[in-house]
Amino acid sequence: MKHDRRIIIVGFMGCGKTTVAAALARQLGCRMIDLDSFITKIEGRSPAEIIQQEGEDAFRAIETRALQNVFENSAARVIALGGGAWSIEANRALIAQHNCLSVWLDAPFDLCWRRIISSGNTIRPLAPDRESTKNLYESRRRDYSLVQMRLAIDDGDRAEVLAQQILTQT
């Protein structure tokens, strides 16, 4: 793998993107960015707040600008996207333009749902109930399958092991 090639971690809410991205960055000895946290920092409000106040379309536009900003102004090699970022064609094109390796953490819905509901006070406007969340999960799988690398994960998988699998397969 090219030593400077960026790695993009994608997947549904609760699949472990941020945790795996952090483990991967530690193993590579590089910086990582969680795009949702980056958006919160530059916008002064969370993605959930933006979606609640302005709607999902407005958030997706902010998200794409934030991703462009990361590519232009950050040295981070590992980027954890929000759950819906990969489903936006403009974001996939931007990622391809920057020759990134895209990795899908393919977690079963039940695992994601357990993590979503156990996250406590975290507001997730796109996951208001199990049925609509399951429909969203299913609708995004086709887009997620467009990645370059798919990792099937389960509840017992440790982030460090998953990060090592990514490195081994590149």
**CATH classification for the domain delimited by 7-162, as one of 3.40.50.720, 3.20.20.140, 3.40.50.300, 3.40.47.10:** 3.40.50.300
CB atoms within 10 A of CB 104: 25
- The pTM of the full predicted model, rounded to 2 decimals, is 0.93
Give 81's contacts (C-beta < 8 A, 6+ positions apart). Answer: 8, 9, 10, 17, 35, 67, 91
d(CA 126, CA 129): 9
Task: Break the chain into its structural domains and give their ranges.
Answer: 7-162
Is the C-alpha dihedral spanning 164, 137, 80, 41 positive or negative?
negative
Residues 23-71 pLDDT 10s = 999 999 999 999 999 999 999 999 989 999 999 999 999 999 999 999 9
* Burial classification of residue 157, based on how many CB atoms lie within 10 Å of its CB (0-12 exposed, 13-18 middle, 19 or more buried): middle
Residues 143-170 pLDDT 10s = 999 999 999 998 888 999 999 999 988 7
